[in-house]
Structure formats: C-alpha cells, structure tokens
Amino acid sequence: MLALARSINPEKHLTVITSALNVALELSSHLHVDVLQLGGQLRQNSSSVMGPYAEQILADVSCSMLFLGVDGIDLEMGLTTTSLMEARLNQKMIDAAQITVVLADSSKFGKRGLGKRYLKPQHQAGARWGALPGTGRYCTGSRSFI
C-alpha cells in the first residue's frame, strides 16, 4: 500500500480513506489529497488500525475504488488475512466500495490466512483466476491483481 501511496500525485482533489498510518503520513503533505484516517486498535506488525471504531466510520461512507492488500489468495478460500479483526474491517471496506482492486505479488497466490475476505457478488460475476504469461501478474475477469 505504501508503494501505491508514494505514486499518487493528483492534479485534482482526491479523498483517501485509510487504516494504514504510514499511508496517511505519506499522503498528508499532498496539496490535493484529503486523508481520512480510520481509528481503532493499532496492529503493530502492519501499523494499521482495526476494530469497531474503524468499522463505524466505514458505515457512513461510500467510495469509488478500494485498493486492498492481502496476505493470501486461494482459489477455494478467496482473499485472506492473518487477523480475523482485519478480515472483518476489510469486508466493511469492500462493502463501501464500488470497485475493489487487490494489490498482491505472486508470493500471495496459493497462500491461506486465518480470516477470509469475500468480494461482493457483482465483483465475482464471471471471475476467472489465472496468470498472465510471463508477467507475474494475475487476473480475474477484467480486473488485474498486481
């Protein structure tokens, strides 16, 4: 997520909602970026927040696009994370977004974490998982998992 945040330099207004402290700090100096930092319990290993306070904020917002990091992507389990609380928060993020884009490298494929993340039915429609030859990139339907 931090690499994505570092690449953002919009010329027009952009509002970013994040649970990641490092992402919020990275974007805080951008003139055209407003950052809404979710609150809650801090996960030390990821410097991100989770829990009912973060979920409560998400209940009041709608987002055009969600960029979601994952700990594992498995054909049977779907998108997974190592924390049940984080999985619940990520489901709330998915529910608040019109489009979900999963950011993951090839090391995440075939791995399973403890908590499942489910994509909304419209995101699953016609989904097919597979590798793009020679690129290390994977796709599902028309969405790229990078």
Residue 27 pLDDT greater than 70, yes or no: yes
- Please say whether the beta carbons of 70 and 108 come within 8 A: yes
Please report the pLDDT score of residue 1 as a whole number: 87
Range from 32-36, 114-118, 131-135, 141-145 carrying the lowest mean pLDDT: 141-145
Please report the pLDDT score of residue 50 as a whole number: 93
Work out the end-to-end distance of the chain between its first and last CA atoms, rounded to an integer number of angstroms.
Answer: 12
C-alpha to C-alpha distances, 55 to 27, 90, 118, 136, nearest whole angstrom: 22, 9, 16, 33
pLDDT digits (tens, 9 = 90+) for 60-88: 999 999 999 888 888 888 888 888 898 89
Overall average pLDDT of the 34-55 stretch: 92
Half-sphere exposure of 107 (CA within 13 A, CB side): 2
Range from 20-29, 92-101, 104-113, 135-144 carrying the lowest mean pLDDT: 135-144
Overall average pLDDT of the 21-47 stretch: 92
Please report the pLDDT score of residue 43 as a whole number: 87
What own/partner pairs with CB < 8 Å and gap ≥ 24 does 54-62 have?
Answer: 54/19, 54/89, 54/92, 55/88, 55/89, 55/92, 57/17, 58/17, 58/89, 58/92, 58/93, 58/95, 58/96, 59/92, 59/96, 61/17, 61/36, 61/96, 62/96, 62/98
pTM: 0.78
Who has greater pLDDT, 30 or 104? 30
Residue 99 and residue 90: Cα distance in Å, rounded? 13
Please report the pLDDT score of residue 118 as a whole number: 63
Q: What is the CATH number of the domain that holds 88?
A: 3.40.50
pLDDT digits (tens, 9 = 90+) for 89-129: 999 999 999 888 888 888 998 898 887 766 544 444 334 44
**SS3 per residue for 68-106:** EECCEEECCCEEEECCHHHHHHHHHHHHHEEEEEEECCH
Domain count, the chain: 1
For 35, phi then psi, to 5°, come to -115, 125
Range of the domain at 57: 2-121+129-145
Who has greater pLDDT, 41 or 116? 41
